Amino acid sequence: MIVHLKTTIGHDEAKRLAQTHQAILTHNTQWHTGFILTLSSKVKELPADLTQYAEDYVVLDTDIQFASRSYQDQKAEVRIAEDLVIGGEDNSTWLMTGPCSVESKAQIETIAALCKTHDVRIIRGGCYKPRTSPYSFQGLGLEGLQILREVADANDLKVITEVRDASHVQDVIEHADIIQIGAKAMYDHGILRACGNQSKPVLLKRGFNSTLQEFVQAAEFILSLGNPNVILCERGIRTFEKATRFTLDLCGVSWLKEHCNLPIVVDPSHAIGYRFGVADLSRASFAMGIDGLLIECHPNPSEAKSDAAQQINQEMFSELAASLRKMAPGIGRRLK
Amino acid sequence: MIVHLKTTIGHDEAKRLAQTHQAILTHNTQWHTGFILTLSSKVKELPADLTQYAEDYVVLDTDIQFASRSYQDQKAEVRIAEDLVIGGEDNSTWLMTGPCSVESKAQIETIAALCKTHDVRIIRGGCYKPRTSPYSFQGLGLEGLQILREVADANDLKVITEVRDASHVQDVIEHADIIQIGAKAMYDHGILRACGNQSKPVLLKRGFNSTLQEFVQAAEFILSLGNPNVILCERGIRTFEKATRFTLDLCGVSWLKEHCNLPIVVDPSHAIGYRFGVADLSRASFAMGIDGLLIECHPNPSEAKSDAAQQINQEMFSELAASLRKMAPGIGRRLK
Amino acid sequence: MIVHLKTTIGHDEAKRLAQTHQAILTHNTQWHTGFILTLSSKVKELPADLTQYAEDYVVLDTDIQFASRSYQDQKAEVRIAEDLVIGGEDNSTWLMTGPCSVESKAQIETIAALCKTHDVRIIRGGCYKPRTSPYSFQGLGLEGLQILREVADANDLKVITEVRDASHVQDVIEHADIIQIGAKAMYDHGILRACGNQSKPVLLKRGFNSTLQEFVQAAEFILSLGNPNVILCERGIRTFEKATRFTLDLCGVSWLKEHCNLPIVVDPSHAIGYRFGVADLSRASFAMGIDGLLIECHPNPSEAKSDAAQQINQEMFSELAASLRKMAPGIGRRLK
Amino acid sequence: MIVHLKTTIGHDEAKRLAQTHQAILTHNTQWHTGFILTLSSKVKELPADLTQYAEDYVVLDTDIQFASRSYQDQKAEVRIAEDLVIGGEDNSTWLMTGPCSVESKAQIETIAALCKTHDVRIIRGGCYKPRTSPYSFQGLGLEGLQILREVADANDLKVITEVRDASHVQDVIEHADIIQIGAKAMYDHGILRACGNQSKPVLLKRGFNSTLQEFVQAAEFILSLGNPNVILCERGIRTFEKATRFTLDLCGVSWLKEHCNLPIVVDPSHAIGYRFGVADLSRASFAMGIDGLLIECHPNPSEAKSDAAQQINQEMFSELAASLRKMAPGIGRRLK
């Protein structure tokens, strides 16, 4: 249950009420000008002693509360820059591209130039790549973050990059425009808390083992701390099928569109894990009416230090971008 | 390994060679004018005693042989009628619609009229519905087949309907234009054999827990018996995610497009199991460049005797068909 | 809902009542001396017009009805021979062994001798092996059934063998003492009907893609036709883990023990798919307090025509049997 | 490839060699008295320039290297106290028990008394419980750690407790005798690094959607930093089956026993998620010949603040412990 307190109620009183009811105390004017209490969704009736403090309240079915269409039906807008808003109701889909791992400044400059050619505004690249084996490339770390920031600024691009564990979350928050929480870190409450306690936009990737319910509940951690700027990203789930690396869950995207108010981005590259399907899956995702597409592109995929099989090259990216532009009017979207 | 025997070799000699090499003997002029031997894909070199009989041969990586792009690169054409060919290279996508279960003649006539309105040429409906519980509706059986046939003939439509076990396969073969092998029957060799030993087109649904490799190998049973008219249908796989009924595997569709030469149809209705996602998933599948879409539509979904939650009504179907037509040019396809 | 009709009610009247209420009509004195009507489990109150005919009735939570502990709490006994009863409450666990495929009479005789050495009463062997690729060994068919029957009779053994599709179900019913319904055939209603319409014991294998609910509902098809002799067999489910062939679901066995009244057998060989785990998993399953163990054993596993990797040889079987006997008293079971 | 450097080679030279070969430098006398270099398992031949420095080397199939039976065949011993060694070859299985969450000192004292009654030496309890919903109990944190430590010391017990993200890993390392890495934290390299850089024993839980290969590779992170005291814990994987909470993967335990040299513990409580199967699954796991059992027990399960459904009470624990003791001789194990 989400309770909007009367605007006359100050922070101390709100805090006291939160403690009494084991509620989470939130404040964000996008939702309500006063303070907000969130109780467990199991609470179905407004507690009697809250009646005098409550302006209004919403009873929710599950612990998807702030993110629920039942709380706020229109899709949230996440503002990255004055003219770069992901989500909302204006039918824009934003392209984001870049390599799996930041490997060198030259590499990032090449991709930045590609972005400029295709009017792509957001560049991606991973700096922390602690992969499943200790015996492979683990990323450039802070040096990578600095490269991204420098090249992006020089080209008027925005940076999205991934945090993988709580030990480097502050560095990512500092350098990124959009903080990407990796699929393997979706349950990391050290990260979720750090992201909730600041206001930069967060792109939360669905854990490949996570139900849709758990996925949006992880977003609720960030939202309930007062940061409304959360974007959901579907990137494939783990199933019995191993011919492709993961299974892109577009049924899940439908479910998210129906039940949640957060913007949705799809990452087809990690889902399939092979170059051959990236273009088709990008078009399929675009046709779903999503808010963004995150596509891995590398100047020279065969020499990539990670995920070599799934990254497309610049030529393939150019063809893909052109085909998406061509299909945009027919599906009533603008590609940005 | 597929071995094309010289056209001078007759049936008896071909049969003898097949027995000697534990090979499958096939004859279909779409592939080769002479007889064909198929050996296990583990055989990587032409057996010495076959050299004098072989016109040519193809070594294959796996037991996906006739269906492999390495054997025949261009996509197969499955002819339903003179002017109704599924597959091939002309960029057509065929709509097929109808209720989950045939319930009455009036119901099928309503859907037939809907088909005529939207130039849909193929009508579907299930007659054998032996569902997981014995305590629910089990379908009209032969009576349903007769209703479908009669209404389709009166409206110049083609019929696709499902066989569920070997005990009624001959009835389905007799009444259908396209024999649909249900997801739960994909491994049923009684059915696969019966379908391979005749020449009507077969739409093979992927078992919901079948790997892509097993799926295409099931198609190979039909192909290797000499019936080249096989269409593959992705309809969702079973995963840990239960917010939707199944998980539509479009990564799998990419894989099939890349590796197999058979036409591909997608059934989004069974995949998601809820009305709300059917339109979006249909558009996504269409954007993949597939050969057909199988969509469940019922005159009055809330009263349907099976799968009530996932069938769309006529109005929703009309909107969906219109939106698909609108997006067709942008993706370079023709909707039929 | 299961309704026990008064014993004064004859077949014609029972049939009329069944039709009126879309109920399944069953007759088996193990459950009730009169006729039985089974309505959907959604029916929670006895229909008014049935009150005068009903002796008593049981409301069930789900469409697991005859198999439910809420209907009949004590575990069912399935009688194979006078002194060979699987299930019930006497804490016996029956060993069943034999090769994956029947390959020759000599092979089966070797295994029969092994059975005699270890007081094993039930021999297994597959005759219909339509595997996922058409390009591999497909079984000896009827000839295999005859070999099994002949060797078993000569050695006072009972035969369990598998039916795979409805086209050969009558042959299996005729030759087997226990009809095994294969994992890929669990949803085959042609087979389920045929097995329900006769009285020989049936061992139903869980489909590797089937939920426990669906599994027991498939058993309900057989039970509701009046054959109470159904044994459930867990043999591994398909998951994301591919280091082993399937994942043995002993949590599922716990669930079945808790909720169902049917005897339970475990097949560890198909679950793991590799020899190395068969003994440990057999001991683990035995410690669960199950009613039988189905273990694949081949005189010469490396030359087996199917499933070569998972079959143990005679020496391994002897060691395993000895270790099971040793642990039996500590877990309060008798190994038979 | 693992390369044992000659013992004459000092730290500086070893470090230089590691950098040249992008190898991981390890030092632990349990494996080798000199320094150790670990190269990617893709390296199959000893690099020429290393020949003069290498005492010997082992080529490994995959990036499971230190943990592989091919590197060290006998099972590792993890010493918790002088007389408490988990693993090795002496056929002991250690019981560990306690509540899901530490809720109060009284609660932990009750469980400590239960441990004393049954000669259980290791007590468990979770202090950081950041669960999937922000709207539920999140654990006592540091206060919980202090309670555990105090009560354990007063009762001569050892403490196992869980770390969930890198922000509190040092607190857990300080207070625990065995650091448990939770299933959702298995990929957290902030935690893995911290655990590798100290020498206390670590119990690594398998991620519920992690393959066995990934699971052991996560252990390799800790091992390769020089901490050999790693215990693997199977606790159920996520599958399509939802009648139980997870699916205990005993096929996976067989695989680990066959391929890895690390001690193995099973947690049946989290796997099934319901009280009813805990005893049977404990006995099944014990019969597999594992090194430890982790069982959730709460003085009053119905009032537990987390995982209420799966915790057994003291009476059930006593019965279970007795039954395990009874079966121990028959399976050749000692229960401790």
User: For residue D320, what is the domain's CATH number?
Assistant: 3.20.20.70
A211-228 CB burial, b ≥16 within 10 A, e <16: bbbbbbbbbbbbbbbbbb
Position B309 pLDDT exceeds 90: no
Mean pLDDT of chain A: 94
pLDDT at C303 over 90: no
d(CA C282, CA C324): 8
- Cα A259 to Cα A254: distance, rounded to the nearest angstrom: 9
Judged by CB atoms closer than 8 Å, whether chains meet at D184 and A185 is answered as no
In the structure, what pLDDT confidence band is assigned to residue C132 with cuts at 50, 70 and 90? low
Structure-block tokens of residue B143: 């009576």
- What pLDDT does D135 receive? 67
pLDDT tens-digit series, residues B207-228: 999 999 999 999 999 999 999 9
Q: Are residues C95 and C52 in the same domain?
A: no
Give the distance from residue A192's alpha carbon to the nearest chain C alpha carbon, in angstroms: 27
Distance CA C64, CA C46 (A): 18
Distance set, CA C305 to CA B336, C38, C302 (Å) = 48, 45, 9
pLDDT at residue A333 tops 80: yes
Q: Is it the case that residue C32 has pLDDT exceeding 90?
A: yes
Average pLDDT over residues C4-32: 93
pLDDT for position C133: 65
- For the residues B264-290, what does the mean pLDDT come to? 97
Mean of pLDDT values over C30-43: 93
The DSSP element (H or E) to which A146 belongs, if any, is helix A142-154
Estimate to the nearest angstrom the gap between the alpha carbon of D141 and the chain centroid: 21
Identify the pLDDT of residue A129: 81
DSSP, collapsed to helix, strand or coil, labels residue A319 as helix
Q: Percent helix, strand, coil in chain C (nearest 5)?
A: 35, 20, 45
Output the CA–CA distances (angstroms, integers) from residue C185 to A162, B164, C203, in the order listed. Answer: 46, 11, 12
Q: Which of D58, D86, D106 is the last residue of a domain?
A: D58
The Cα C280–Cα C288 span in angstroms is 13
**C239, A240: Cβ pair inside 8 Å?**
yes
How many angstroms separate the CA atoms of C276 and D58, rounded?
24
Query: Which residues from chain A sit within 8 angstroms of residue C242, using beta carbons?
Result: 242
pLDDT of residue B136: 65
pLDDT 10s digits, C188-232: 888 999 999 999 999 999 999 999 999 999 999 999 999 999 999
Stronger pLDDT, D296 or D165, i.e. the higher one: D296
**Predicted local distance difference test score (pLDDT) of residue B133:** 64
Indicate if D218 and D315 belong to the same structural domain.
yes
Whether residue A272 is found in the same domain as residue A304: yes
Residue B232 with chain A: CB contacts under 8 Å: none
Do D145 and D9 fall within a single domain? no
Q: What is the nearest CA distance from D327 to chain C, expressed in angstroms?
A: 4
pLDDT at residue number B165 = 85
**Distance in angstroms (rounded) separating the CA atoms of residues A44 and A53:** 17
CB contact under 8 A, D238 and B240: yes
Of B166, B179, B80, the residue nearest B126 (C-alpha): B179
Average of pLDDT values for C44-58? 95
Whether A268 is in a domain gets the answer yes
Task: Give per-residue pLDDT as tens, A63-82.
Answer: 999 999 999 999 999 999 99
- Residue C299 identity: P
Taking 90 as the threshold, does the pLDDT of residue A138 lie above it?
no
Choosing among B251, B264, B291, B312, which should be mutated to test the A contact, i.e. which has the most A CBs within 10 A? B251
- The phi, psi pair for B328, rounded to 5°, reads -55, -50
pLDDT for res D136: 65
Check pLDDT > 80 for residue D188.
yes
* One-letter amino acid for residue D126 of the chain: G
Dihedral sign computed on CA atoms, order C203, C207, C213, C214 = negative
Is pLDDT of D310 > 90? Answer: no
Do both A46 and A84 map to the same domain?
Answer: no
Say whether pLDDT at B271 is over 80.
yes
CA–CA dist D6, A329 (Å, integer): 69
Residue C95 to residue C333: CA distance in whole angstroms:
13
Please tell me the predicted confidence (pLDDT) of residue C305. Answer: 81
**Res A135: pLDDT:** 67
Question: Which among D295, D270, D273, D291 has a CA at the least distance from the CA of D282?
Answer: D295
Q: Please report the DSSP string for A161-211 in residue order.
A: EEE-SGGGHHHHHHH-SEEEEPGGGTT-HHHHHHHHTS-S-EEEEPPTT--
Partners of D209 on chain B (C-beta within 8 Å) are 240
Give a yes or no: residue A70 inside a domain. Answer: no
Residue B229: both structure tokens together: 């008219």
Share of chain C above pLDDT 90, in %: 87
| pLDDT beyond 80 at C135 | no
Domain residue limits at C38: 2-58
Residue at B14 is within a domain? yes
Q: What percent of chain A has pLDDT over 90?
A: 88
Q: What is the pLDDT of residue A80?
A: 96
Does the pLDDT at position C136 exceed 70?
no
Query: Is D117 domain-assigned?
Result: yes
3 state DSSP class of C6 = coil
Contact B250 A253 (CB under 8 A): no
Contact between A201 and A224 under an 8 Å Cβ cutoff? The reply is no
Q: How confident is the model at residue C134 (pLDDT cuts 50, 70, 90)?
A: low
Give the pair of three-digit tokens for residue A117. Answer: 């050619």
| pLDDT tens figures, D122-174 | 999 999 986 556 666 778 999 999 999 999 999 999 999 999 888 899 999 99
What would the mean pLDDT of B314-329 be, rounded to a whole number?
97
- Region of poorest pLDDT, from A298-312, B23-37, B122-136: B122-136
Confidence of residue A309 (pLDDT cuts 50, 70, 90): confident
Question: How many residues are listed for chain C in this entry?
Answer: 336
Q: What is the pLDDT of residues A230-254, one digit of tens each?
A: 999 999 999 999 999 999 999 999 9
pLDDT at D227 over 90: yes
A5-57 confidence digits (pLDDT tens): 999 999 999 999 999 998 999 999 989 999 999 999 999 999 999 999 999 99
Query: Structure pTM?
Result: 0.94
Q: Are residues B138 and B189 in the same domain?
A: yes
CA distance A165 to C127: 55
Alpha helices in C198-313 (DSSP H): 212-224, 250-259, 268-272, 278-287
Q: Are A292 and A93 in contact (CB under 8 A)?
A: yes
The reply to whether C115 and C263 lie within a common domain is yes
Alpha-carbon span C38 to B135, nearest angstrom: 8
Instruction: Summarize pLDDT for B106-154 with one digit per residue, the tens.
Output: 999 999 999 999 999 999 999 998 655 666 677 899 999 999 999 999 9
Q: pLDDT band at residue A136, thresholds of 50, 70 and 90? A: low
D71 inside domain: no
Residue D189 lies in a domain: yes
Looking at this protein, which amino acid is placed at residue B123? I
- The percentage of residues in chain D with a pLDDT greater than 90, rounded to a whole number, is 87
Residue A128, token pair as written in the block: 């922390």
Asked whether residue B66 is assigned to any structural domain, the reply reads no
Let me know: does C49 contact C253? Beta carbons within 8 Å.
no
Up-side HSE of residue A119: CA atoms within 13 Å toward CB?
10
Same domain, D54 and D107: no
CA–CA distance from A67 to each of A31, A74, C80, D137 (Å)? 11, 11, 59, 20
Mean pLDDT of D104-132: 92
Give the C-alpha separation, A71 to A219, whole Å: 15
The mean of the pLDDT values for chain D is 94
Are the Cβ atoms of B251 and A242 closer than 8 angstroms? no
Token digits of residue C91: 């804490």
Residue B308: pLDDT over 70: yes
Three-class DSSP labels, chain B = CEEEECCCCCHHHHHHHHHHCCCEEECCCCCCCCCEEECCCCCCCCCHHHCCCEEEEECCCCCCCCCECCCCCCCCEEEEECCEEEECCCCEEEEEEECCECCCHHHHHHHHHHHHHCCCCEEECECCCCCCCCCCCCCCCHHHHHHHHHHHHHCCCEEEEEECCHHHHHHHHHHCCEEEECHHHCCCHHHHHHHHCCCCCEEEECCCCCCHHHHHHHHHHHHHCCCCCEEEEECCECCCCCCCCCECEHHHHHHHHHHECCCEEECHHHHHCCHHHHHHHHHHHHHCCCCEEEEEECCCHHHCCCCCCCCECHHHHHHHHHHHHHHCHHHCCEEC
pLDDT for the residue numbered D267:
98
**Quick one: pLDDT band at residue D273, thresholds 50, 70, 90?**
very high
Is-contact D92 D291, C-beta < 8 A? yes
Q: Residue C111 in contact with residue C99, Cβ under 8 Å? A: yes
Please tell me whether residues B39 and B178 are part of one structural domain. no
Report the DSSP pairing between strands B92-98 and B84-87.
unpaired
Distance (Å, whole) CA D314 – CA D320: 10
pLDDT confidence of residue A312: 92
B200-211 pLDDT, tens digit each: 999 999 999 999
Residues with Cβ < 8 Å from D70, sequence gap 6 or more?
D58, D60, D61
Q: Is the pLDDT of residue B307 over 80?
A: no
- Residue of C210, C250, C282, C325 to mutate when probing chain D, most D C-beta within 10 A: C250
Residues A15 and A127 in one domain: no
Beta bridge partners of D37: D3, D25
**Which residues of A fall below an 8 Å CB-CB distance to B?**
209, 211-213, 236-237, 239-244, 246-255, 257-258, 271-272, 274, 276-277, 280-281, 283-289, 323, 326-331
Among C91-95, C238-242, D21-25, the minimum mean pLDDT is found in D21-25
**Is A72 among the domain residues?**
no
The structural domain count of chain A equals: 2
The per-residue pLDDT of chain B, averaged, comes to 94
ipTM of the complex: 0.94
Q: Are residues C106 and C242 in the same domain?
A: yes
Q: In the numeric block, which tokens belong to residue A212? A: 């849709």
Do C130 and C32 reside in the same domain of the chain?
no
